[in-house]
Amino acid sequence: MTSTIRHHILSFIVLVLLQALVLDHLDLANGWVVPYLYVLFLIALPFDTPPWATLLLGFALGMAMDFFSSTPGMHASACTVMAYARLLLLRILSPREGYDAVKRPTVAHMGLNWYLTFAGTLVVLHHLWLFFVEVYRFDHFFSTFIRAVMSAAATLLLCLLTQALTAREASSR
């Protein structure tokens, strides 16, 4: 239990720093693709995280990003919405006998289909919210939409890659 908490605190710090110091400075496809890998923290929380903790952690994660990008409330609102959607989605995708206590929301534990549905929905929702709040208006609707979806694909790819790279270390714990 304590080691799980320590693992998640560490991943919070590493993901926020990785996002602020490296990923935010990538200029992929002339600004059309901006991966926001830091949301992996919310995706990878254990199944038995209490709902209030999920919401508060989502808000805290967003605020941490806002401090770095000088955008008060932008990431915080996107992550709060994402945390709430995660609660609903977990209820919808729940297996008949409930979630296995030893399993975690990863490809290795839940299968690729389940993971793509779960993480894909959350990432697309988060990115749509974030990009539309960033633009702050609805003209150029289509180009913002395309930017959000392309970035979501990149984020999802990075999520899969990160989990594949850290999988062995995680299963040995």
Looking at residue 49, its amino acid is: T
Restricting to residues 31-50, name those near another protein by CB under 8 A.
Answer: 31, 34
| Least distance CB 143 / another protein (angstroms) | 8
Between 116 and 133, CB nearer to another protein:
133
**Alpha-carbon distance values, 23 to 51, 67, 72, 162 (Å):** 29, 16, 19, 13
Give the C-alpha separation, 148 to 166, whole Å.
Answer: 27
Sorted by sequence, the CB contacts under 8 Å of residue 69 that are 6+ apart come out as 20, 24, 75
Among 7, 8, 18, 68, which residue sits at the site for another protein (rule: CB under 8 A)?
68
Between 21 and 112, CB nearer to another protein:
21
Give the C-alpha separation, 98 to 117, whole Å.
Answer: 17
According to the binding rule CB under 8 A, does residue 93 interact with another protein? no
Closest CA to 170 of 117, 104, 123, 124: 104
Give the C-alpha separation, 43 to 159, whole Å.
Answer: 9
Q: Which stretch binds another protein (CB under 8 A): 62-70, 92-100, 118-126, 162-170?
A: 62-70
Token pair of 86 as six digits: 């995660």
Among 6, 51, 94, 111, which residue sits at the site for another protein (rule: CB under 8 A)?
51
Restricting to residues 7-26, name those near another protein by CB under 8 A.
Answer: 17, 20-21, 24-25
| Least distance CB 78 / another protein (angstroms) | 8
Cα atoms in the Cβ-side hemisphere of radius 13 Å centred on 173: 15
Between 44 and 64, CB nearer to another protein:
64
Between 11 and 144, CB nearer to another protein:
144
Token pair of 66 as six digits: 């806002």
> Residues in the site for another protein, rule: CB under 8 A?
17, 20-21, 24-25, 27, 30-31, 34, 51-52, 55-56, 58-59, 62-63, 66-74, 76-77, 80-81, 83-84, 87, 133-136, 143
